[in-house]
Amino acid sequence: MTDPAPPLTMTDAAPPAVGPLLQVTDLCVRFATDDGVVKAVDGISFSLERGRTLGIVGESGSGKSVTSMAIMGLHSGKNTAITGEIRLDGEDLVSASRERVRQLRGAKMAMIFQDPLTSLHPYYSVGHQIMEAYRVHNKVTRQVARKRAIDMLGRVGIPNPAVRVDDYPHQFSGGMRQRAMIAMALSCDPGLLIADEPTTALDVTVQAQILDLIVDLQDEFGSAVIIITHDLGVVAEISDQILVMYAGRAAEEGPAVGVFGQPGHPYTWGLLSSMPRLDADRVDRLKPIPGTPPSLINIPAGCPFHPRCGYKDQVGGDRCATEVPLPRETAPSHLAACHLTRDQQRSIWADLSAPVPASLPASPAGAPGDFPDLSVTNPAAPLRSDDPASGDAEAKDRA
């Protein structure tokens, strides 16, 4: 388990004359801790063109945020080892000096965060914080910066921006704070915008507005966007490409249509099955993925997902536990790192995505407070750990 998975590439097509805006190759991020080395990101590769949107999906601890922080150069030096390449406009950020990365931060790449209240400084007015971001990278007077801040606040849909510019974050609502964060991030017109769970802390009604805003501004500014989330609805809505991460590696990647329409990795199936479906009967339970994400200090040998995978019996021999699955095409430019054959993947997904018969009896297994037992509720439930009893016990222990 010491050698990282071989790099995945998003497209096999010949590179365009002008390279992609962002090219990440075999990125590894490791943290030295008292308990051992945490392999938070283990050989991730992807590329992103201007004006396109990449959605990175995965559970907590799958390495999505660590990846984005690595791109931004926000990991603090001492206990972090970053290898691989991150090329922004052709310039490698991994080998660049900290000062150079700082200059690029905010100017050519910007980031918005999950919780807009704690992400804004409570002691400074919203306008001050936007002006600050603008003036680090632009030698302008306060008046010019202030005009820019008001202009940006107007563009992200803050009503009466000339007045609200002097408000403090606590005087803004949650949605307005996130709008202000977006205004701050876009104030220097960066080519790359990373949105790390931008809607998680917001009301459902506001979530849609913020996503619309990101899409609109992306069209207006022509930026590339990376959107990181565990909410599949969010990425499905706005992404062109999807990268599904598990235990710091790419489980599946490809065009959004492909990943959602014809997913090839059991983990992606699990993610999709754990979403509510409108065509399913109400008594039907959601199907969570059994077990918990692995420790990133001791990543399971072979396929990191195999202890939680319900399909490893269908792979011959012990390959899932011994052999790291290489990413293989399940469709053109759509890769999945799984030992199942393409035909197996297709037929299993066809079963899974078939409309659920509406007349299943209510399950007796789900007494309130019980941990939902997937294997009983729906006879067709595909995902089960090899030993459901032990899997449940483990999950309970950690709960």
Partner 1 sequence: MITFVIRRLITAVFLLLVVSAITFAIFFLIPRLAGQNAAQLAAEYVGRNPTPSAIAQMVAKLHLNDPLPVQYWHYVSGIVVGEHFDSGPSQDYCPPPCFGYSFRSQLAVWPQMVTALPVTVSLAAGAAVLWLIGGVAIGVLSALRRGSIFDRFSMGVALAGVSLPIFFTGLISLELFSYKWPLFPNVTYVDFAVNPLLWARNLVLPWVTLAFLYAALYARLTRAGMLETMNEDYIRTARAKGLRERSVVVKHGLRAALTPILTIFGMDLGLLLGGAILTESTFSLPGLGQFTVTAVQNQDFPEIMGVVMLAAFFIVIANMLVDILYAAIDPRVRIS
Q: Which residues bind partner 1 (CB under 8 A)?
A: 72, 74, 102-107, 110-111, 113, 115, 118-123, 125, 129, 132-133, 136-137, 168, 170, 181, 184-185
Give me the least distance between CB of 296 and partner 1, in Å please: 20
Q: Of the two residues 87 and 137, which places its CB atom closer to partner 1 in the complex?
A: 137
CB 339 within 8 A of CB 323: yes
Give me the least distance between CB of 356 and partner 1, in Å please: 41
Q: Of the two residues 120 and 331, which places its CB atom closer to partner 1 in the complex?
A: 120
Q: Of the two residues 72 and 256, which places its CB atom closer to partner 1 in the complex?
A: 72
Q: Of the two residues 201 and 256, which places its CB atom closer to partner 1 in the complex?
A: 201
Give me the least distance between CB of 188 and partner 1, in Å please: 8
Give me the least distance between CB of 39 and partner 1, in Å please: 22
In the chain, the amino acid numbered 283 is V
What is the chain's length?
399
Give me the least distance between CB of 146 and partner 1, in Å please: 16
Among candidate residues 72, 85, 168, 158, the one with its CA nearest the CA of residue 122: 168
Instruction: Spell out the long-range contacts of 151-157 with Cβ–Cβ below 8 A and sequence spacing 24 or more.
Output: 152/183, 152/184, 152/186, 152/187, 153/126, 153/127, 153/179, 153/180, 153/183, 155/183, 155/186, 155/217, 155/220, 156/180, 156/182, 156/183, 156/186, 156/213, 156/217, 157/209, 157/213
Q: Where are the beta strands (DSSP E) in 207-290?
A: 224-229, 241-246, 249-255
- Cα 139 → chain centroid: 35
CB 206 within 8 A of CB 234: no
Q: Of the two residues 60 and 359, which places its CB atom closer to partner 1 in the complex?
A: 60
Give me the least distance between CB of 367 and partner 1, in Å please: 40
Pairing of strands 80-88, 22-33: antiparallel
Q: Of the two residues 132 and 237, which places its CB atom closer to partner 1 in the complex?
A: 132
